[in-house]
Structure 1
Amino acid sequence: MKLFGVVGWKNSGKTGLMERLVAEISGRGFRVSTLKHAHHAVDVDQPGKDSYRHRQAGAVEVVLASRKRWAMMHELRDTPEPELEDLLPKLTPVDLVLVEGYKRSRHPKIEAHRVETGKGLLAREDTTVRAVASNGAPEGLPVPVIDLDDTAAIADLILREAGLTAQPAEDQPPSQLRNDCFALPPGVDWTPVADALDLLRDGLTCVTGTETLAARDALGRILAAPVTALRANPPAANSAVDGYGFAHAALGPEGGALPLAGGRAAAGVPHPHPVPEGQALRILTGASLPAGVDTVVLEEDVTLDADTVRFGAGLKRGANTRKAGEDKLRGDTVLDAGHRVRAPDLALLASVGVAEVAVRIPLRVGVLSTGDELATPGETDDPARIFDANRPMLLGIAAGWAYRPVDLGQAPDDRDGLRAILDDAAERCDVILTSGGASAGDEDHMSAILQSEGTMTSWRIALKPGRPLALGLWRGVPVFGLPGNPVAALVCALIFARPALSVLAGGPWQEPLGFTVPAAFSKRKKPGRSEYLRARLSPEGTAEVFASEGSGRVSGLSWADGLVALGPEAQEIAPGTPVRYLPYAGLLTP
């Protein structure tokens, strides 16, 4: 494993730099771990915790484990504190280990430095320091000095020193899901919707690789790393109006009568000379303020008398000007990792000089329908066959979420045929959505083959429509086994697959966006399960529901423009009762 350190005095910014470097280098596709040396008798465990009590009772090692992470604590007792070299073998192999602290160790380091600490620089004496990351401009150093906020440049140096720059991000293998990522806790059978969503969120991670794109081509893509401003916006103080610029100190209490300096300043054509105190310069909107100008008077507020500009009192210092960096400063984080790039973001990226961004490769979503009874419209008129409504719907949903839909066709009720289709899908897809065959019947081959040759957990969710949900892995690829009924398949896709696929694609967990409206219907609902009703808004802004709750009424999906979400509590709804409305516009978009 490659090793690189970050050192510095207290309050030098090294921890913040570590955090930014982990995000930056990980976003480029490298696997990064960290190792921090804690000073001043800092402990990682606290009195009152169960683990603390275990250690106090005499345990040599204590392992903490949860669904999210695990950690081991080893008691040193009377043995010496381990050296860095003793700890490195305990880490799982990765591309790069970033070490915070351990000044005396001989690994290469970068020194974090803030001028305001008043401390000297280690780099003047320590030959293991390869560069200084500073918010000032220290002179006389034997190593390069990089702006402390220029995370990308610091990461470039570290990767170059570590010999990792030849490994492009897109060549890095994506993360793999654990085999038990969909496992339910022991004893759990029926699962409320909220609990099922929490379990799903805890078990998933991004599975796509990264690539670098020109920022102008990144529309709709998910950022793989935070983006920092490469220059300030605006890059220099400038005029917000057409008018006349001058030094505010030249004004008297009654206003000003200032002789005009020669020339003018325009956007992109700066005035080449300082403006003498007591004079004014013609300046246009967007022009950089030349030396000697800190205030601009609007041209409509002046009178010109030969070579003199006159205006009244009351103008404040800095009026009608824009400060350099008043929008964004160089080094500011302008967009976070996981953000999906929109058209307004392209303007922001351009304004701060960002030409390239690291993005996630779009998630490839395979869609497969199962069942001998299925047919494609136009293929047959046999009334015993059912036209496949789920596959075109789910392919459309995947495309609407800005993923790459992969049509896997229809699988017959045949174990060998299904296995071959899944094997092919695992090579071409990052996630697979199936519909039908996920229960426990004689012809439910999907659940049977996942149980025998892959991994599968059947989730019985307290939900109407869509109680069964089969989740598993096939050759390491996540499989979402949706119900065969189109209404239930849609609801499960929108409520469960949408946030899950967002995480798999490198984005955030997506909560459905909804709002409260008055009901235009009556319903008595028993407690114990959540229900989603096909609904649309009336011209009066009330929620109307489809005439039938029958899950086979596919026409209701098209009639609706959203869903009414009813929680697990008992409810008696009459016209005017507030209900939560989830519009399709929010559920069917990224």
Structure 2
Amino acid sequence: MKIYGVIGWKNAGKTGLMERLVAEICARGFTVSTVKHAHHAFDLDRPGKDSHRHRQAGAREVLLASHERWALLHELADAPEPPMGEMLDKLAPVDLVLVEGYKRDAHAKIEVFREPAGHELIQPDDPTVRAVASDVALADLPVPVFDLNDTAAIADFILAETGLVAETPGDLPDACFLPQSAPGMASVAEAQAMLRGSLGPVTAVERIALAEAQGRLLADDAIASRANPPGTNSAMDGYGFAHASLAGGNVLLLDEGRSAAGAPHRSAVAPGHAVKVLTGALLPEGVDSVAMQEEVVIADGRITLPDGLSPGANTRAAGEDVAEGALALAAGCVLGPAELGLLAALGLAEVRVRKQLRVGVLSTGDELAAPGTTRDPARTYDANRPMLLSLAARWGHRAVDLGHVPDDRDALRRALNAARGAVDVVLTSGGASAGDEDHVSALLGQEGHLTQWRVALKPGKPLVLAQWQRMPIFGLPGNPVSAFVTALLFARPALSLLAGGRWPEPRGFTVPAAFAKRKRTGRRELLRARLDGEGRAVLFRSDSSGMISSLAWAEGLVEVSEDAQQIEPGDPVRFIPFGSFGL
């Protein structure tokens, strides 16, 4: 979490500025918490309230809880006041913590100054004060001075200081999804090409500590500021020497001392001499090759080297992994353990990443009920919403549950309006066709920007691509298997582009079929499958798109192209494991 302080003398206007900054920075899409320090006793409840009576009776801690908030009151008694760092550890993670008070702590601060308060400026004697917000003109200060009422400029300064500058490329255009180029059904490839050509990043950029960057998307190309390894070093324990010395024979004089990792040998090694070197140690001046310690003979201050050593033997050249100034990682890559290790090896303590894409998931339909709430056979438990929320989270996005709305356009309109600003993109399920109760496509067609596609795909033919006040919406089919498959093929790569990442291509491989299937020309089919003990693809017992159990049973999908085919047992088929879709 980033920390920034607001300080000033009493009645300078600190709390007013804090209030305005919280509203301003939250409106820019960042999460903010606050810490308020007081030099006097305070109470959160009036005398006579139950919690106050509990404390007065001697309770060490009193926890207040309601459906809106909770608070824990802890009595210090004779214990010393905890330091600010201990207080910060009690907060849930947010983008920024604004601290009011704590003048003596070392974090960066902005001073609030009002002339009527009658106090001298703190800044001249405090190097942690990085700017002043004042209601009067101030001259000859070595830090920026802001108008106390210019909240936006002060927020800009604090966000820049903390590396939380929002760098959003801008909203998508009103109609980012292109219409179908021809009537009829689009192929899977055509629909994917349209998405790939239409979408771009909608997420802001922030600078965070490398240790916090697991799973995030790299915002900029990472360029090596120094080589890795930074200097030529030994690849193993042994003895270093100049290869040219071997022209006079394999017996060299052995110098005292050694070169170890982090403790290099400071003296140059003369021709005809050798010195002990350990794995990872920088090669001393005069050394360009290393002999393994198991292959040498040492006696009477001399070392006999083995025959056949080549120049540079058993060494690692400076920059042989990554050269200084080289591209280490390209923007848009996901930072996993290997990527974080590479950036750390190059000396990067912080990294600019994309803020997580906020993916809202909304279920629609009168027939849906929350799991476990009814046994009415006319109602269907809402399986799509937890499934799609889990998919969004597995793909590295911030999954936001938007709940369930019935088949009612006013309710759907209210839900979409509420989502705007809370999320970056919405996945809906149900209501994506053109029937009387398909309110998603109907509302988006009348009041949004709608491209309704019929994709030549089984399962998953109906697919709504739309915008609501420039917020992208993916209307997925209501049947669980269809929703799952269309999410893998279309939502996953599109969400990656919106998040600032790359278009991910699933990787399959060829296996023998353990089934027979006759297929007509027209639609691409994705069959739920798993591999048997002989590595053959076995299909689920039914191809119904309503059988969600097939997704738990399957290990991946067999992809059958649009062409007419007659598949017999033993024929090669393409199998795409679920792991290739980021699961």
* TM-score, structure 1 normalization: 0.70
| Structure 1 residue aligned with 2:225 | 230
Q: Deviations over 1:85-116 (max 9, x none)?
A: xxxxxxxxxxxxxxxxxxxxxxxxxxxxxxxx
**Which residue is equivalent to 1:408?**
402
**Equivalent of 2:317 in 299, 307, 323:** 323
Distance 2:408 2:287 in 1: 81
Cα offset for 1:198?
Answer: 1.0
- The alpha carbon displacement at 1:313 in A equals 3.3
Single out whichever of 222-231 and 257-266 deviates more from structure 2.
Answer: 257-266
- Whether the 8 Å contact between 2:163 and 2:208 is mirrored in structure 1 is no
Which amino acid is the alignment partner of residue 236 of structure 2? Answer: V
Contact 1:205–1:504 (Cα < 8 Å) also in 2: yes
Instruction: Describe the superposition over 1:409-446 as per-residue Cα deviations: whole angstroms up to 9, x where unpaired.
Output: 10112222111111111221111000011222222211
Contact 1:234/1:325 (8 A) holds in 2: yes
- Give, in angstroms, the shift of residue 500 of structure 1: 1.0
The equivalent residue for 1:302 is 296
> Counterparts of 1:187 and 1:515 in 2: how far apart (Å)?
32
Give the Cα separation in 2 of the matches to 1:252 and 1:466.
74
**Counterpart AA for 1:565:** E
| 1:399 equivalenced with 2:381 (yes/no) | no
Residues 146-545 of structure 1 aligned to structure 2 (within 5 Å): 170-252=165-247, 255-545=249-539
CA-to-partner distance for each residue in 1:337-384, whole Å, 9 max, x for gaps?
Answer: 111011111221121212221111111111110011110112112221
Say how many residue pairs are matched.
425
Residue identity over aligned pairs, in percent, reads: 55
Alpha carbons 1:266, 1:283 under 8 Å: kept:
yes
1:550 Cα deviation after fit: 1.8
Q: What are the Cα deviations for residues 493-521 of structure 1, in whole angstroms up to 9, with x where unaligned?
A: 11111111111111111122111111111
Aligned to 1:29: none
Letter in 2 for 1:587: F
Cα deviation for residue 546 of structure 1 reads: 1.3
Deviates more, 1:398-407 or 1:293-302: 293-302
Bigger shift: residues 218-227 or 289-298: 289-298
Give the aligned partner of residue 82 of structure 1: none
C-alpha deviation, 1:179, in angstroms: 2.3
Contact 1:175 1:205 in 2 (8 A): no
Shift of 1:580: 1.1
Distance 2:579 2:340 in 1: 23
State how far apart, in whole Å, the 2-side matches of 1:363 and 1:227 are: 21
Is the 2:174–2:467 Cα contact (8 Å) retained in structure 1? yes
1:28-71 per-residue CA deviation (whole Å, 9 max, x = no partner) reads xxxxxxxxxxxxxxxxxxxxxxxxxxxxxxxxxxxxxxxxxxxx
Q: Quote how far apart the aligned CAs of 1:456 are.
A: 0.9
- For 2:247, what is the secondary structure of its paired residue? coil
Tell me the amino acid that sits aligned with residue 382 of structure 1.
D
CA distance in 1 between partners of 2:271 and 2:182 (Å): 81
Cα distance in 2 for partners of 1:510, 1:188 equals 28
Q: Are residues 431 and 237 of structure 1, via their aligned partners in 2, closer, same or farther at CA, if it must alter by over 3 Å?
A: same
What's the secondary structure of 2:291's corresponding residue?
A: strand
Shift in alpha-carbon separation, 1:294–1:444, aligned structure 2, 3 A? same
Measured in 1, the distance between the counterparts of 2:532 and 2:297 equals 59
One-letter identity of the residue aligned with 1:211? E
Find the aligned partners of 2:357 and 2:412 in 1 and give their Cα distance.
23
Partner residue in 2 for 1:6: none
Deviations 1:205-251 (A, max 9, x none): 11111111222221111111110112111111111222222222222
- CA change 1:313–1:565 in 2 (3 A) is closer
Q: Distance in 2 between matches of 1:179 and 1:186?
A: 19
Query: What is the CA-CA distance between 1:169 and the residue it aligns to?
Result: 5.8
Tell me the C-alpha RMSD between the 2 structures: 1.8
SS in 1 for 2:497: helix
Find the aligned partners of 2:302 and 2:181 in 1 and give their Cα distance: 86
Contact preservation (8 Å) 2:180, 2:186: no
Residue 262 of structure 1 deviates from its aligned partner by: 2.7
Deviating more after overlay: 182-191 vs 505-514:
182-191
Contact 1:190 1:462 in 2 (8 A): yes
Q: Alpha-carbon deviation of 1:188?
A: 3.2
Cα deviation, residue 165, structure 1: 7.2
- Contact persistence 2:217–2:353 (CA under 8 A): yes
User: Aligned-pair distance for 1:567?
Assistant: 0.9
Q: Secondary structure at the match of 1:292?
A: coil
Give the letter for the 1:328 counterpart: V
Per the normalisation by structure 2, the TM-score is: 0.70
Residues 544 and 318 of structure 1: is their aligned pair in 2 closer, same or farther, counting only changes over 3 Å?
same
Which amino acid in 2 is paired with 1:327?
A: D
Is the 1:264–1:271 Cα contact (8 Å) retained in structure 2?
Answer: yes
> What SS is found at the alignment partner of 2:420?
helix
Is the Cα contact below 8 Å between 1:466 and 1:492 reproduced in 2? yes
Any idea what SS the aligned residue of 1:171 has? coil
Residue matched to 2:114: none
| Contact 1:562–1:584 (Cα < 8 Å) also in 2 | yes
Structure 1 residue 580 corresponds to structure 2 residue 571: no
- How many Å separate the matches in 1 of 2:316 and 2:252? 22
Cα 1:299–1:554 change in 2 (3 A) is closer
Deviation at 1:276, TM superposition (A): 2.1
Matched letter for residue 552 of structure 2: S
| SS of residue in 1 equivalent to 2:352 | strand
Partner SS, residue 176 of structure 1: coil
Q: Distance in 2 between matches of 1:174 and 1:212?
A: 16
Contact 1:260 1:281 in 2 (8 A): yes
Residue 296 to residue 185, structure 1, CA distance change in 2 (3 Å): same
Cα deviation, 1:134-178, whole Å, max 9, x if unaligned, reads xxxxxxxxxxxxxxxxxxxxxxxxxxxxxx977956323343222
Contact 2:506 2:581 in 1 (8 A): yes
Q: Is the 8 A contact 2:559 2:573 kept in 1?
A: yes
SS, match of residue 347 in structure 1: helix
Letter in 2 for 1:522: A
Superposition deviation, residue 190 in structure 1:
1.5
Aligned amino acid, residue 585 of structure 1: G
Number of the residue aligned with 2:107: none
In 1: Cα distance, 2:341 partner to 2:168 partner:
32
Contact 1:360 1:506 in 2 (8 A): yes
Q: Aligned partners of 1:289 and 1:195: how far apart in 2?
A: 57
Segments of structure 2 that go 5 or more residues without pairing to the other structure are: 1-158
In structure 1, what residue type is equivalent to 2:203? T
State how far apart, in whole Å, the 1-side matches of 2:314 and 2:534 are: 46
